[in-house]
């Protein structure tokens, strides 16, 4: 981890759970971490806790709604202006609505796609462009998927009937696996050493 010392990581969904834990750990490992979420107050509290604990890195809270592309682009512009750019992008933000396929709300389906697929894809794209323009060839893009999908992802014949009311959500999460492989292939074509990883 020494090579990441002082470099910039973006963690989406950094206000609670896995995102919060990742942000704190990266700060402990001397990184500058931009933690974004809609509820920036929780990240501000985390940042104060990191400072009080004497962690050598810094946590920068940033309010961003990942369903809004303009807000995402504004966040990357601010990171460029204040910290030069992103070296590591951890796409952790995600949400689920228990909406069945035969009677679910379209607005809930759209919300899941906006955060879990479109928001993730926009952040990955902008992170790569940030690295490319600064000739950063050793960054990392990490897409966090949900552990509940493990038995589904590796099953030879997927039986999603066991995931009551989460069939649309599961489909959005399968999209993340496909997108990650697509990113890997495109990065390879760009002859970059920046890897993309999906974590279940």
Catalytic residues: 169
- Tell me the H-state helices in the chain: 17-28, 40-52, 69-83, 106-113, 120-133, 150-153, 167-189
Place of tokens 């999209």: 175
Distances 122 to 12, 76, 100, 117, 149 between C-alpha atoms, Å = 12, 10, 27, 9, 23
Q: At what angle do helices 167-189 and 106-113 cross, to 10 degrees?
A: 30
Q: Between the CA atoms of 157, 158, 159 and 161, what dihedral angle is there, to the nearest 10 degrees?
A: -160
Which helix or strand (DSSP H or E) is residue 197 part of?
strand 196-199
H, E, C per residue of 95-132? CCCCCCCCCCCHHHHHHHHHHHHHHHHHHHHHHHHHHH
> Nearest Cα to 193, choosing from 123, 139, 126, 121?
139
Q: How far is 147 from 178, CA to CA, in rounded Å?
A: 16
């Amino acid at each position: 981890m020494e090579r990441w010392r002082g470099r910039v990581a973006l963690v989406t969904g950094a206000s609670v759970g896995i995102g919060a834990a990742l942000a704190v750990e990266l700060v402990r490992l001397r990184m500058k971490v931009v933690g974004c979420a809609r509820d920036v107050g929780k990240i501000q509290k985390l940042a104060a806790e990191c400072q009080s604990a004497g962690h050598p890195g810094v946590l920068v809270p940033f309010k961003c709604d990942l369903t809004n592309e303009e807000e995402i682009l504004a966040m990357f512009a601010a990171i460029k202006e204040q910290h030069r750019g992103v070296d590591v992008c951890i796409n952790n933000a995600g949400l689920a609505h228990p909406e069945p396929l035969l009677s679910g709300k379209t607005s809930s389906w759209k919300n899941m796609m906006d955060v879990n697929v479109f928001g993730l894809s926009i952040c990955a794209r902008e992170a790569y462009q940030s690295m490319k323009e600064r000739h950063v060839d050793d960054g990392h893009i990490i897409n966090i998927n949900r552990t509940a999908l493990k038995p589904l992802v590796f099953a030879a014949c997927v039986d999603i009937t066991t995931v009551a009311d989460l069939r649309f959500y599961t489909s959005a999460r399968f999209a993340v696996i496909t997108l990650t492989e697509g990113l890997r292939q495109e990065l390879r074509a760009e002859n970059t050493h920046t890897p993309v990883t999906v974590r279940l």
